[in-house]
Amino acid sequence: MKKLITLLLAAVMLLSLFGCAAQTPATQEQEPAQNGSKPAAPADKQDTDAEPVAALTPDGELVITDKLAHFAASYDDVRDAIAKLRQAYDEAAAGGVRSVNTKTESAADAAEPEMPAPAGEEGLGSGGSDDYSETNVQVAGIDEGDIVKTDGAYIYAVGENKLKIFSVDEFVVKKVAELTLGFEKYEDSKNSYSNDYKSVREMFVAGDMLAVISDHSSYSSKRTGANDWSYESSNRAEVDFIDITDRTAPKIAATLGQDGGTMTTRLVGDRLFVVSRYYIYNYDDGDMHTFVPALYRNGEKALIDANKICIPVNPSETYTVVTEYDVASAVMKDTAAVLTNGASLYMDAERIVVAGQKHQQDVTAERTESVYKVKEYYEYDATELTAFDITGDGLAYINTALVDGYLDSQFSMDRYNGDLRIVTTHASYSYAVYVDEAMGFENYRWNDDHKTYNNLYVLGADMVRKGAVENLAEDERVYSVRFDGPVGYFCTFRQVDPLFTVDLSDPASPKILSALKIPGFSEYLHVWQSGLLFGLGYDTREESWGEESWTTTDGVKLSMFDVSDPANVTEKWKLRLDYDYSDTMYNHKSAFFDSARNIIGFQAEDGYALYSFTPEDGFRELAWVHGEKLGSWNIRCVRIGEWLYLVGANAIYVLDISDNYTVRATTPI
């Protein structure tokens, strides 16, 4: 421990000698490299001295580095990083240090390693409309994959491993095509077993092309001896690019993929970004195929190039794989694999930020008590943020940063005027491990010091911290977040709902403007109109038994907050509903918002509810359709012209907006 403290002090002295030079973010003006070689560094990069960073590697070694991450030079670099990580895990199991975080704020001030250069209006059918809704997304102009899409002339739906296409002409809906994409195959015998399964998840529409994303998993075992078996498994995110020039005869143009289960997807123009999580199974340090993710084209497999693999100082045993595809040409454009356990993603027209969740474990003290060797541990969560620029061709690495706490959802991140804003919840605890080596056993003592509070951080374009507000709402966690330009809103909860409003106009000095405390809490926040913020969540009530009391949920609640004065936010309109649950609280893509027509749609238990909102009348029910009729708890609402279409697994209901939301037709799927 004394050695560790000495090393850390030395690191601090070195940092003070080197100074704090801010780094310039990567630009996209360099020419693409040829034959897969690395591009030359931009002019503003080549002669820049990087600020050194004090950090501890997974095996506890203190390093002075100019980067929080680097790209591998070879597969040996990748193997060595994973081997050290696995060794640290083994030591943790034996009572050693698993990972340590110095939590130095200057750690984000890292020089930027260059990312290798990338490898080498639709028409409407008859009866179509150019006035139609789109998927409810976080960032305007950045589409998110979903199970139902429309282009104004057709409705596209994926479910039960099939793609179905419907022509639409007001209340007349006809199925014109169906294409099976997923499957499940089993083979079982005395000496072998195999399972091959492809499950369709979501899709995008881009002109005359569809991109359908699936998870494709396989597992096999084979007897190799009397009591010996060999095992193989794989899991990849797969994209079927489907030509729908003829909507009645969709054709698969290509099938591409990447290792790992699908985490999330985004589309801007024809640029499709698929993000997957790839866990390292059956690690064999002599076989790179067991620890390097692969890419796939029509069944052919190729490992991701080593120089596309980003290794943070504190890596994970899980990759987050980000791949760009061009939908129009059905080709793979670029990829990057980061050794971080991806938990969420933010994307706008300029940048992708991958958020990886890290559980940190620090050894804070070591001593001897009687016959025991004692180690004191402090554990908490942190979020590792890896940023890529997408304004040029491919994915250009910018920097990696680490912030305290974990994210509630993708809405916990947002960019404005080049700055990244993040809201996190800190949760920590400590304990001591008493080891009696002579007797061969150990005991644990858990301390009563569990801490929960919330933070807001602002990082600049170079991912360097600009400002922060920390230690908010002690003993509460974040339930929802929404940013609206220079203002941020987030809701925490324990017994009442503090809705915090934050002024972010000065990123170096964010300020809490108000903290509205009301019963209940919002799980999802949505900017309804200028000056109005919609909240979907739960009402609450107090209960007691003897001397014990607690807060419990009491039905779904709709809230409309008046945020016209950020310093005096009020819940001006609210409505408690006799529903126990709404999936829309946790899946924003199932929500429908049309402020011009005053329509709010969301899933309510096993059905879909439609409400109107006006300042004069508040919330008013328009319609509710039972999920049993639609055949699904996963329902979507789309609008084409003055018609609403509720799409389930078994049927499409057509509601006439101009006729008091009357159901005019039902089409079996």
What is the tens place of the pLDDT at every residue in 318-331? Answer: 999 999 999 999 99
Tell me the mean pLDDT in the region 622-636: 88
Angstrom distance (rounded) from CA 126 to CA 111? 55
pTM of structure: 0.85
CA–CA separation, 268 vs 142, rounded Å? 5
Q: Does any domain span residue 59?
A: yes
Assess if residue 73 is contained within a domain.
yes
Q: Is the pLDDT of residue 495 over 50?
A: yes
Task: Report yes or no on 84 lying in a domain.
Answer: yes
Helix (H) or strand (E) holding 311: strand 309-312
Residue with tokens 């991912």: 463
Domain annotation covers residue 252: no
What range defines the domain where residue 97 resides?
2-23+45-108
Number of structural domains the chain divides into: 1
Of 214-218, 268-272, 296-300, 590-594, least confident by mean pLDDT is 296-300
In a domain, 375, yes or no: no
**Rounded CA separation 662/311 (Å):** 57
Q: Which residues contact 123 (CB under 8 A, 6 or more apart)?
A: none
Which tens digit of pLDDT belongs to each residue from 393-447?
999 999 999 999 999 999 999 999 999 999 999 999 999 999 999 999 899 999 9
Nearest Cα neighbor of 446 from 428, 429, 425 is 429
pLDDT averaged over every residue in the chain: 86
CA atoms of 185 and 207, how far apart (whole Å): 33
Q: Is 393 helix (H, G, I), strand (E, B) or coil?
A: coil
621 pLDDT more than 90: yes
pLDDT band of residue 93 (cuts 50, 70, 90) is low
pLDDT band (50, 70, 90) for residue 67: low
Residue 396 lies in a domain: no
Cα-based distances in Å from 327 to 236, 272, 539: 19, 7, 44
**Does residue 600 lie within any of the structural domains?**
no
Of the chain, the percentage scoring pLDDT greater than 90 comes to 71
State yes or no: pLDDT of 219 exceeds 70. yes
- Asked if residue 481 belongs to a domain, the reply is no
Count other Cβ atoms within 10 Å, centred on residue 117.
22
What confidence tier does 95 reach under pLDDT thresholds 50, 70, 90? Answer: low
Asked whether the predicted pLDDT for residue 299 surpasses 60, the reply is yes
Measured on CA atoms in the order 13, 15, 17, 19, is the torsion positive or negative? Answer: negative
Give me the mean pLDDT over the 647-658 stretch: 96
Q: Is the pLDDT of residue 101 over 80?
A: no
Confidence of residue 360 (pLDDT cuts 50, 70, 90): confident
How far is 213 from 78, CA to CA, in rounded Å?
A: 28
User: Which residue type, as a one-letter code, is found at position 383?
Assistant: T
What gap in Å lies between CA 468 and CA 339, rounded to an integer?
27
